[in-house]
């Protein structure tokens, strides 16, 4: 990576955190809006992707958790069987449920969800790839809308995919971690499902290629 590219990446990823504290003292920064989704961005520089260190959410939405939906679920209404294990991503309660193939292990994790309906995909898919220490690149559509974004962010504490990522059969869709814990429980992604790093690490260890995934 060239020196200029490294500087641009650090500026892109680091400024949001730096300005988060300074924002109150610098009213000239004003409220910023993500050009991809139109949603407000909290603590970010212009053009910063909400998947790379800023929090994006719908200010008109009820941010409280749907506790009844977050409680334990039965897999049977959602899956015909538990072959390869099963993951249910419940967008209403912002929770991810996992059942092992033998049915003996059940886990539930709080999650982030996409910021808007046009970025949300629901239905059945499966895990096709597992990556520890994932890298990140903007999708072609993101890059076209935001040419100043970096083409590539390597694994590490600045990476918007956190420590682990599960690739789904839908192109560009992931279940992944995040280093920004403010995202969890909010509408704060461009389409993916985010978990705390400690939770994605556990889910990563429990799943396999072919694990069923249902997003509702």
Number of helices (H), then strands (E), belonging to the chain: the values are: 4, 13
According to DSSP H, which parts of the chain are helical?
A: 3-22, 67-70, 140-145, 197-206
89 is an active site residue:
no
Q: Which of 97, 164, 176, 199 is catalytic?
A: 176
In Å, how far are 50, 70, 127, 136, 172 from 168, measured between CA atoms?
Answer: 20, 23, 5, 15, 8
Candidates 97, 164, 192, 199; catalytic one:
192
Taking a C-beta distance cutoff of 8 angstroms, is the pair 88, 216 a contact? Answer: yes
Which H or E element spans position 97?
strand 95-99
Pairing of strands 174-178, 193-196: parallel
Residues marked active site are found at 176, 192
């Amino acid at each position: 990576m060239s020196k200029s590219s490294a500087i641009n990446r650090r500026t892109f990823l680091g400024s949001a955190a730096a300005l988060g504290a300074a924002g109150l003292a610098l009213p000239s920064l004003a409220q910023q809006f993500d050009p991809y989704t139109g949603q407000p961005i909290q603590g970010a520089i212009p053009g910063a992707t909400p998947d790379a260190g800023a929090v994006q959410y719908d200010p008109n939405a009820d941010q409280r958790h749907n506790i009844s939906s977050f409680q334990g679920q039965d897999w049977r209404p959602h899956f015909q069987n538990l072959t390869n294990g099963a993951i249910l991503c419940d967008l209403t309660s912002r929770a991810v449920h996992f059942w092992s193939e033998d049915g003996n292990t059940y886990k539930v994790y709080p999650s982030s969800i996409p910021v808007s309906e046009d970025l949300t995909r629901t239905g059945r898919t499966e895990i096709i790839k597992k990556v520890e220490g994932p890298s990140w690149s903007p999708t072609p559509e993101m890059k076209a809308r935001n040419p100043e974004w970096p083409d590539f962010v390597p694994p590490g504490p600045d990476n918007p995919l956190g420590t682990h990522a599960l690739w789904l059969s839908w192109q560009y869709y992931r279940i992944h971690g995040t280093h920004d814990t403010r995202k969890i429980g909010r509408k704060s992604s461009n389409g993916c499902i985010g978990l705390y790093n400690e939770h994605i690490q556990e889910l990563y260890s429990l799943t396999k290629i072919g694990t069923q995934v249902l997003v509702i």
